[in-house]
């Protein structure tokens, strides 16, 4: 049990919280980058390969489009259905094979990304589907190529929704990163588990919760502000 009356208690706590916060930011930022790239790709494919989409007939075959779309739907639904703590355990062999260990901040990036991609992909799909069909049809009538429609119409028009989806995804990744700490993934979750739970330090637990709440509030507010700034509707 940790004694809060120890003269070095608060300075030790500050150092520990600062280091754990850095690990959390590292895990979340790297996994967010990977999640954004992969999730955006999957989300766009879900929309564009669906019936009536601009890539509904990849390789000149409508059947190929249906296969791609249904396969992605199944993958995304499965990814979103598995609770993160179970997914993290299931991925231990894959994580160990990929980074050489399943413990530590770097190893935690693997399950965070795998959990984040289907989550963000669905948000991307929702944002892109909100783009008015008339805008796409207008671009097609002007002879715009599919790649141009994808980037300059669908993605450009969906940017406000994508920003909100991104801020929501960040909050989810921070929540997931805290759970990773329960199995030695590092970060604030690990600090709360080792000091707050295993060593019965309520002070550590409270400080970690406060730091997490502040981080979430700041990131969510920034996401909302950015979405409003770039919205032109």
In degrees and rounded to multiples of 5, residue 57 shows phi and psi of -125, 65
The answer to whether 117 touches 39, Cβ cutoff 8 Å, is yes
CA nearest neighbour of 36 among 103, 89, 87, 112:
112
Burial 211-220 (b: 16+ CB within 10 A, else e): bbeebeeebb
Q: For Cα atoms 185, 101, 175, give the angle at the middle one, nearest 5 degrees.
A: 25
Mean pLDDT of 49-59: 82
Q: Chain-centre distance of CA 119, in angstroms?
A: 7
Structural domains in the chain? 9-230 (1.10.3720.10)
Judged by phi (left if over 0) then psi (alpha if -120 to 50, else beta), residue 6 lies in beta
pLDDT (tens digit per residue) in 80-106: 999 998 998 899 899 999 988 888 889
pLDDT (tens digit per residue) in 149-201: 888 889 888 998 899 899 999 999 998 988 887 777 788 888 888 877 777 77
């Amino acid at each position: 049990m940790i004694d809060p009356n120890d003269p070095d208690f608060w300075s030790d706590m500050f150092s520990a919280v600062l280091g754990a916060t850095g690990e959390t930011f590292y895990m979340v930022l790297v996994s967010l980058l990977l999640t954004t790239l992969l999730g955006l790709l999957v989300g766009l494919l879900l929309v564009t390969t669906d019936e009536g989409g601009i890539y509904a007939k990849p390789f000149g075959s409508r059947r190929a489009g249906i296969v791609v779309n249904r396969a992605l739907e199944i993958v995304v639904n499965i990814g979103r259905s598995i609770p993160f703590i179970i997914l993290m355990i299931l991925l231990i062999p894959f994580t160990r094979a990929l980074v050489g260990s399943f413990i530590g901040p770097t190893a935690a990036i693997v399950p965070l990304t795998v959990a984040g991609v289907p989550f963000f992909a669905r948000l991307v799909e929702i944002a892109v589907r909100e783009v008015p069909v008339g805008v796409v049809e207008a671009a097609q009538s002007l002879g715009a190529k599919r790649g141009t429609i994808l980037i300059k119409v669908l993605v450009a028009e969906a940017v406000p929704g994508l920003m909100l989806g991104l801020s929501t995804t960040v909050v989810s990744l921070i929540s997931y990163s805290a759970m990773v700490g329960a199995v030695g993934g590092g970060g604030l979750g690990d600090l709360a588990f080792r000091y707050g739970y295993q060593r019965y330090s309520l002070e550590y637990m409270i400080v970690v919760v406060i730091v997490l709440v502040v981080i979430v509030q700041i990131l969510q507010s920034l996401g909302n502000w950015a979405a409003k700034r770039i919205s032109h509707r």
